[in-house]
A = this chain, B = another copy of it.
């Protein structure tokens, strides 16, 4: 992605007058000023329903509800609810996706988790095969060629989310989203923008955070993605386990990085 592109900005915060609301406004303005198109899914403002249910997939309630299969069938038969289809169309139009939220209990607010649960369904976001019939994922998928950037605010100080901080390193807390969801789907996932100490922000600190965000957005087309290992790149065996000669003896989420980020 070079030049003017389409960006989908998915925002999950209930209060526009918050630090998150301010950062979203500033970030979107900066993208537009660079000539990019920005679509916004402001989940709280939209009243997004985050709960998977049979009705949303036009599933016959008399039959056992197998979530993945029912979603796939609805997707293929055009029976998906309109709100889910609208989000899929936004994703399809986008060249890059920004996912912004406050870290609540070290993860996404429910309304955002349920955006993935409902929209990223089997047959659309996973369970896909490549041209030779092989299963694809982790480096190839429906987001191939797109970039993704996670923007989070966190209450505690930066070091408490550092590599030896008590909460766990923020990059590992975000692993289910950045690796298991966005990179799984084939996106090039950029290092996250992490705004720490957000509980007690002054206006000046807010401005500094906005400046950092603008800088990171400006670099989005060219920045180096997180170097996660790809599923079909040779590092994993057919059993999806790291081959013994790859990072021998290494365990933990860091083993799935081909090198230290930035190194």
Interface residues in chain A, defined as those with a beta carbon under 8 Å from any beta carbon in chain B: 14-15, 17-18, 44, 50-54, 64-68, 102, 104-111, 113-114, 116-117, 120, 138, 155-157, 159-160, 162-169, 172-173, 175-177, 179-181, 199, 231, 236, 239-242, 250-256
Task: Please tell me if the beta carbons of B168 and A179 are within 8 angstroms of each other in the complex.
Answer: yes
Known contacts A110-B50, A176-B107, A239 near B160 by CB under 8 Å = yes
- A18 neighbours in B (Cβ, 8 Å): 64-66
Interface residue from B54, B106, B179 paired with A14 (Cβ < 8 Å): B54
| A254 and B251 alpha carbons, distance in the complex (Å) | 9
| A67 and B155 alpha carbons, distance in the complex (Å) | 12
Interface residue from B50, B164, B241, B256 paired with A242 (Cβ < 8 Å): B164
Interface residue from B106, B108, B117, B241 paired with A160 (Cβ < 8 Å): B241
- A65 neighbours in B (Cβ, 8 Å): 14-15, 17-18
Additional pairs, 7, CB under 8 Å, beyond known A44-B53, A107-B176, A162-B241: A50-B50, A105-B113, A109-B113, A110-B113, A111-B114, A113-B113, A164-B241
| A18 and B113 alpha carbons, distance in the complex (Å) | 22
Interface residue from B66, B114, B252 paired with A253 (Cβ < 8 Å): B252
- A138 neighbours in B (Cβ, 8 Å): 166
Closest CB-CB distance, A148 to chain B, in whole Å?
14
- A172 neighbours in B (Cβ, 8 Å): 172, 175, 252-253
Closest CB-CB distance, A245 to chain B, in whole Å?
12
| A11 and B162 alpha carbons, distance in the complex (Å) | 33
Task: Please tell me if the beta carbons of B109 and A256 are within 8 angstroms of each other in the complex.
Answer: no
Task: Please tell me if the beta carbons of B256 and A168 are within 8 angstroms of each other in the complex.
Answer: yes
Task: Please tell me if the beta carbons of B109 and A117 are within 8 angstroms of each other in the complex.
Answer: yes
- A254 neighbours in B (Cβ, 8 Å): 251-252
- A168 neighbours in B (Cβ, 8 Å): 175-176, 179-180, 253, 256
Question: Nearest B residue to A165 by beta-carbon distance?
Answer: B241
Task: Please tell me if the beta carbons of A255 and B106 are within 8 angstroms of each other in the complex.
Answer: no
- A120 neighbours in B (Cβ, 8 Å): 105
Known contacts A64-B15, A240-B156, A251 near B163 by CB under 8 Å = yes
Q: Which of A102, A165, A239, A240 has most chain B Cβ within 10 Å?
A: A240
Question: Nearest B residue to A174 by beta-carbon distance?
Answer: B176
Closest CB-CB distance, A246 to chain B, in whole Å?
9
- A252 neighbours in B (Cβ, 8 Å): 163, 169, 172, 252-254
